[in-house]
Amino acid sequence: MTNLVQRLATYDPTEPQYIGALTEDTSQIYHGSHMAYGGAGVFLSIPLVQHLNAVFRNCYDFKGAGDVC
């Protein structure tokens, strides 16, 4: 846990940050899924979560799929 805390401390918490690895499935990366999924751990900064919260409803209503905004 100490290493994790030290590593996260190197990021600017005032900036929108998505910290995580891409999926291990290269075909998913090739087809546009540039994010972690399937149980991968990610960290989101508070500014990013605030931004996502502000646009989520519009995205959800428009796309209708909840997790595919």
pTM tops 0.75, yes or no: no
Residue 19 parent element (H or E)? strand 18-20
| Domain extent listing, the chain | 1-62
Give pLDDT, residue 62.
59
pLDDT score for 12: 97
**Residues 6 or more apart whose Cβ sits within 8 Å of residue 10:** none
According to DSSP, residue 15 is labeled: S
**pLDDT value at residue 67:** 57
Q: What is the pLDDT of residue 42?
A: 85
| Residue type at 25 in one-letter notation | D
Predicted confidence at residue 58, as pLDDT, reads 77
Tokens of 69: 């905004």
**Predicted local distance difference test score (pLDDT) of residue 5:** 93
Residues 6+ apart with CB under 8 A from 45: 11, 13, 15, 16, 17, 19
Residue ranges in the chain whose pLDDT is less than 70: 23-25, 28-29, 32-40, 60-69
